[in-house]
Amino acid sequence: MVQPTLPLLALFAALFSAVSAHISIFHNSMWGFNQTSDPNRPQDPLMNLPFSQWWFHGHLDYPPHPNDIMQLPVGGKITTELNCDKGATSWYASSPGGDVRDPSTQSPCHGQPTTQYHTNGINDLGGCALGVAYKSDVADVQPDDFVIFSVNQTCVWYRDTDFQVPPLMPACPNGKCICAWFWIHNADSGSEQMYMTGFQCNMQGANSTVPVARGQVPKRCGADPANNVPAHPSNCTEGAKTPMYWYQAEGNNMFEGTYTPPVYNDLYNFRDGAQNDIFSNSTAAPPTVTSSSHTSSHTSSHASSSHASSVHASSSHASSVHASSSHASSVHASLHTSSHASPHTSSKHAEPHTSSKHAPTHTSSKHAEPHTSSKHAPTHTSSKHAAPHTTSKHGASKHWPAATPAARLPVHRVPRPPVHRPASHHARHAWGAHRRIAEASK
């Protein structure tokens, strides 16, 4: 009776290892820096969640120390660390598994196939982005306060990923803004989900006084050959754009279908690099809609050839998956509607946190410990973060309003037969990938 059990245990262990590989940005300025419990680690995906659980990844109770701020060089670039394992970054000292860095590779999830960070190759990337809200208190930030200021279309592909910062970014209030990293991957290798990691930031060296304009909801307008949809430049959102909140139980501003996720590249008029048209005095440039390629010339300068050679081999699979055009029917389908978000109830206890890259491993307890990054920094014992969307400036109760879907282009819809979808995320992840491959081979 024991022998049949061992292969099953090995299989379950392998499956757990494979499906646990998701991605986040890692930096001590982020909310949830020390959260290590699955399924609410920073790298865990967000899907079908109420507002309080996906907004800032549900980590508002686990703030960074006030003095831990990511400095963004205005007019320059910031190299960030993206990984499925905190232990593979320079912040390994506070990872439960310790130091697992591999200097021989730039893979964001070394030891795993590219499908574990939701891509079939470098030509199958959705891009990721940094957004900023010009407020210094996270409790005051609303979803539409964020404006995307930098995009890397070659994301997620490298551990060390560069983001260009526009040269006209104005200074942050009180030396601090609220930023966030956003990612939605393509549909070919993974289930429908989005990623959001919030962090404290500052625009280092800013001297412009021109404010960032209010962001507008992005719209699908670029060429989409995978779904046989041509470019529609007139449908592009020009200038400042909000992040894309998709496939949640409430609070969505994007309503694309399961197999046509909104992505941070030319398909939604997000140019690669610094978003230089986001200011109040910007003159909108012609939209970039001539290409649907997700490959970018703006890649990390730290990319290693060993990673590139190993992961490029998987790109041949992407062409077979893209061969199916049956998903065109869902290009502009609205699957979820937004409803009122539940107010976020915040704990009075701040997360234990040290900013040193060689700090001891922390647990996910909400009780605070002294901050050790600066001998002049005060002991950080508690932080009380009110939820966004709870009160207006006049004290009246307010909720995140139901979003109105952005204008969609008409598209011929082909009825799809009903299918059985496994309930669990891990089962759906594997099931979805196999089903799409099967459909592509028909």
DSSP code string of 405-417: PPP----------
Dig out the tokens for 210 from the structure. Answer: 């021109």
pLDDT bucket at 101, cuts 50 / 70 / 90: very high
Q: How confident is the model at residue 191 (pLDDT cuts 50, 70, 90)?
A: confident
* Average pLDDT score over residue span 250-279: 96
Element of type H or E holding 273:
strand 273-274
pLDDT of residue 252: 98
CA triple 150-154-155, angle to 5 deg: 75
Which one is predicted more confidently, 398 or 55?
55
Q: Which of 202, 156, 152, 209 is nearest to 175 (CA)?
A: 202
pLDDT of residue 224: 93
H helices within 158-229, ranges in order? none
- Model confidence at 275: pLDDT above 60: yes
Span 219-228, pLDDT tens digits? 999 999 888 9
Average pLDDT over residues 146-158: 97
Residue owning tokens 């404010």: 211
pLDDT tens-digit readout, 332-369: 333 333 333 333 333 333 444 444 444 333 333 333 33
Residue 230 burial (10 A CB sphere; 0-12, 13-18, 19+): exposed
> What are 150's strand-pairing partners?
130, 274
Looking at 41-45, 64-68, 394-398, which range is the least confident one? 394-398
Q: How far apart are CA 271 and CA 229, in angstroms?
A: 19
In angstroms, the CA 121 to CA 239 distance is: 30
pLDDT at residue 217 greater than cutoff 90: yes
Distance CA 329, CA 24 (A): 31
Is pLDDT of 391 > 80?
Answer: no
- pLDDT the model gives residue 95: 93
Q: Is the pLDDT of residue 238 over 60?
A: yes
Residue 111 clears pLDDT 50, i.e. is over it: yes
Q: How confident is the model at residue 117 (pLDDT cuts 50, 70, 90)?
A: confident
pLDDT at position 21 is 63
CB-based contact 52:388 (threshold 8 Å): no
**Alpha-carbon gap, residue 127 to 366, rounded angstroms:** 33
Angle at 266 between CA 260 and CA 271, to 5 degrees: 140
Considering only 60-69, 254-263, 425-434, which range has the smallest mean pLDDT? Answer: 425-434
Reduced to 3 states (helix: H, G, I; strand: E, B; else coil), residue 160 is: strand
Q: What is the DSSP letter of 291?
A: -
Does the pLDDT of residue 323 top 50, yes or no?
no
Least confident of 9-13, 276-280, 381-385: 9-13
Q: How far apart are CA 143 and CA 128, in angstroms?
A: 17
Which carries the bigger pLDDT value, residue 125 or residue 392? 125
Tens digit of pLDDT for each residue in 297-321? Answer: 344 444 444 444 343 333 333 333 3
Q: Which carries the bigger pLDDT value, residue 76 or residue 12?
A: 76
Of 328 and 29, the one with more pLDDT = 29
Map residue 306 onto helix, strand or coil. helix
Q: Nearest to residue 266, comparing CAs of 127, 410, 117?
A: 127
Question: For residue 349, what pLDDT is reported?
Answer: 38
What pLDDT is attached to residue 367?
Answer: 37
